[in-house]
């Protein structure tokens, strides 16, 4: 069982905080589509005929694809891979693209899950982020998606922006709950190097992000969504029963996946590889039936560290029996030794041979995982 990710590297406008790979020029879009169709064929052996359980169109902005482009990708994927009849097929969409006509096309093409980049229901926040959509479009995208028969809907929020008060944060979450959105992803605003946001902060055009505001809004968020019946199944993700993202869950479970398109990553259990993050290089190489990518073989230590990092972020926790069976009892003993101080500070807990982050620990998940890593110098 495996997944396929397709990276659509175009956006109408650059959001200030974004460090994903994308271009705001659509001039190469047709050539990109031809290149991606070629890559699908070139990579058809990568997953060794495993059954494909999930397909994810991400980006960038996949909702910019035309109906014909989307259908061509589907027929090429079907010709090249063994896709399960029940596959979860997600399309990331920006609210301004979610028209009734497009929703009908997506449904007919086979998309059965939408991930809508709402980010906030307030214009003030959206303008601060330089999002292309407004609050009205955010709300309409959801009502239209439900009306057109999409039940499996996820929306993204960003919190910890200087414009977002706790009162409006609560209003955002309440609105999502009222709509009956079954999956909600919430990300703390991070200032990534070289983004417009980082430059504006450097030049003191805007203030820096306030970490304590972010921490408070995260703690509030966990409380609100749990009370509303959402399962907090991964640090940034909340779902109603049966609505977890199968695609993202399979990453966290270490299943194999193939990433297609510029900057996309792939993993086959032993090797990780990533495509060139440049649209022109990607297109030109595929014109010659070649793919530019880098590749690394994961050592046992890297695999163990990845397991610690991802498992701690999920509700399943870090399973010591699994660590013993796969990596040896010495590693489990060392892991417990490294975790001792965090047990004492109530940042980690252990239950039924599994290590979990406490709510406070979730605020420092990456740092705590790094403390537990093996092979540190």
Which residues of the shown chain bind ligand SF4 in the complex (CB under 6 A)? 11, 14-15, 18, 20, 22, 59-61, 94, 117
> In whole angstroms, how close is the CB of 153 to ligand SF4 at the nearest point?
17
Write down the least CB distance from residue 59 to ligand SF4, Å: 5
Cα(151)–Cα(112) distance, rounded to whole angstroms? 8
Q: Which is nearer to ligand SF4, 11 or 188 (CB)?
A: 11
- Helix (H) and strand (E) counts for the chain? 15, 15
Which two structure tokens, joined as six digits, stand for 17? 């905080």
**Nearer to ligand SF4 (CB atom), residue 16 or residue 38:** 16
- Of 116 and 339, nearer to ligand SF4 (C-beta) is 116
- In whole angstroms, the minimum distance from the beta carbon of 26 to ligand SF4 comes to 12
Residue whose entry in the numeric block shows the structure tokens 């495509």 = 275
Distance (Å, whole) CA 238 – CA 230:
6
Residue 22's nearest CA partner among 77, 128, 110, 94 is 94
d(CA 104, CA 148): 7
CB of 108 to ligand SF4, least distance (A): 25
Nearer to ligand SF4, 3 or 117 (CB): 117
Edge-first strand order for the sheet with 348-351 is 318-319, 354-357, 348-351
Q: How far is the CB of 36 from ligand SF4 (least distance, A)?
A: 17
Least spacing, CB of residue 151 vs ligand SF4, in Å: 24
CB-nearest residue to ligand SF4: 18
Tokens representing residue 103 in the block: 């929703």
Q: Compare residues 17 and 251 and give the one whose CB is closer to ligand SF4.
A: 17
Closer CB to ligand SF4, 11 or 283, in the complex: 11
What does the angle CA 25 – CA 28 – CA 33 come to, to the nearest 5 degrees? 125
Q: How many residues does the chain have?
A: 377
């Amino acid at each position: 069982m495996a997944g396929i990710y397709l990276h659509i590297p175009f956006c109408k406008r650059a959001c200030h905080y974004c460090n994903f790979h994308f271009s705001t020029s659509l001039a190469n879009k047709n050539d990109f589509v031809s290149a991606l169709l070629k890559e699908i064929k070139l990579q058809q052996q990568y997953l060794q005929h495993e059954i494909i359980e999930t397909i994810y169109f991400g980006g960038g902005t996949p909702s910019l694809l035309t109906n014909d482009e989307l259908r061509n990708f589907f027929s090429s994927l079907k010709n090249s891979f063994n896709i399960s009849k029940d596959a979860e097929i997600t399309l990331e969409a920006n609210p301004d693209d979610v028209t009734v006509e497009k929703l009908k096309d997506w449904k007919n093409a086979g998309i059965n899950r939408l991930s809508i980049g709402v980010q906030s229901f307030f214009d003030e926040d959206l303008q601060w982020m330089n999002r292309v959509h407004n609050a009205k479009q955010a709300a309409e995208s959801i009502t239209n998606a439900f009306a057109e028969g999409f039940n499996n809907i996820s929306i993204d929020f960003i919190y910890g922006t200087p414009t977002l008060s706790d009162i409006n944060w609560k209003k955002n979450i309440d609105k999502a709950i009222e709509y009956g959105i079954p999956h909600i992803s919430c990300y703390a605003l991070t200032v990534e190097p070289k983004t417009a946001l980082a430059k504006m902060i450097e030049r003191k055009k805007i203030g820096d992000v306030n970490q304590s505001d972010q921490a408070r809004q995260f703690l509030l968020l966990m409380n609100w969504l749990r009370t509303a019946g959402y399962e907090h199944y991964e640090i940034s993700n909340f779902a109603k029963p049966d609505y977890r993202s199968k695609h993202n869950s399979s990453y966290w479970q270490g299943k194999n996946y193939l990433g297609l398109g510029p900057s996309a990553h792939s993993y086959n259990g032993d090797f990780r590889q990533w495509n060139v993050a440049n649209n022109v290089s990607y297109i030109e190489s595929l014109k010659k039936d070649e793919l530019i990518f880098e590749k690394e073989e994961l050592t046992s230590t890297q695999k163990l560290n990845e397991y610690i990092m991802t498992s701690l972020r999920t509700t399943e926790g870090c399973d010591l029996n699994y660590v013993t069976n796969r990596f040896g009892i010495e590693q489990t003993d060392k892991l417990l030794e490294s975790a001792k101080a965090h047990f004492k500070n109530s940042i980690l807990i252990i239950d039924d041979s599994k290590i979990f982050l406490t709510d406070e620990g979730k605020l420092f998940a990456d740092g705590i995982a790094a403390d537990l890593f093996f092979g540190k110098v």
